[in-house]
Amino acid sequence: MGIIFKKKETRNRLFFAGILILLTIIVYLQTDNFNENEVKAKYYEIISVVEKLYENHELVNGMYSNGDLSQIEDVRNYLEPYMTEVTVDKVINDFFHETEKRLVYASEFQEYLLQMRETDSDYNYYEVVKNSILNPGLKLVTAEQIYITKENDVITAQVMEESVYFYDENIEHFHYKRLGYPPEDIITVNFEFVEVDGAILLSDYYVKTFSEEELNQT
């Protein structure tokens, strides 16, 4: 009888151990799993959100600012649903300069608007924004060009030296040429996301463009 009870006890332990291992595997798969399409949707959402930072230009005391987002807390409140606190600070540092009374645009964005006002020419717009998260080419990237990976808790949406096309150089596109757009540009993008309280937030970003000549030289 003692031997039978021991066998039953051993089987029960093995049974419960098996259940515990199975539950551990299920929990691991659930926490490690992520939806690539959801991450790609976040990529496009971030681009749309950031575009509004450089709109509604307002000239006050010789300096341009965003008429809707002229205070640092306005920008923080606007960006925080989409980015971590560190990334919000990075965006603010990239695009704005804080004065005593308001946020004004950072130097390169400020100088572009001041030059456009003085010369009535906006020929160098693309030159100003091309290596920033404001690059209009980011939204022309197709979903197939975005490569999604996950390492530890960081999900990365990456675009590696992909071509984006603004217009056909054989057809007249005065508007794009006037703004300094090339017919085609080659772009690398790196968006890193983390999950915070169930929300996917941008935790870092990098944007760089290359001409064909630059790529051939590397």
| Residue pLDDT tens, the chain, 218 long | 545 444 555 555 554 455 555 544 444 444 456 689 999 999 999 999 999 999 999 999 899 999 999 999 999 999 999 999 999 999 999 999 999 889 999 999 999 998 888 776 666 899 999 999 999 999 999 999 999 999 999 999 999 999 999 988 887 777 788 888 999 999 999 999 999 998 999 999 999 998 666 666 65
What percent of the chain is helix, strand and coil (3-state, nearest 5)?
A: 50, 25, 25
Q: If you classify domain 35-217 with CATH, what class do you get? A: alpha beta
Buried b (16+ CB within 10 A) or exposed e, 141-162: beeebbebeeeeeebbbbbeeb
Q: How does DSSP assign 190-211, residue by residue?
A: EEEEEEETTEEEEEEEEEEEE-
The Cα–Cα gap between 19 and 200 comes to: 31
The per-residue pLDDT for 169 is 81
| Host H or E run for residue 157 | strand 154-165
| 16: phi then psi, degrees, rounded to nearest 5 | -70, -35
Name 81's Cβ contacts closer than 8 Å, sequence gap at least 6: 199
Contact 19, 30 (CB under 8 A): no
Instruction: Work out whether the CA dihedral 175, 177, 183, 184 comes out positive or negative.
Output: negative
pLDDT of residue 168: 86
pTM (predicted TM-score) = 0.80
At residue 127, the pLDDT reads: 92
Residues 105/64, Cβ–Cβ less than 8 Å:
yes
Q: How far apart are CA 112 and CA 108, in angstroms?
A: 6
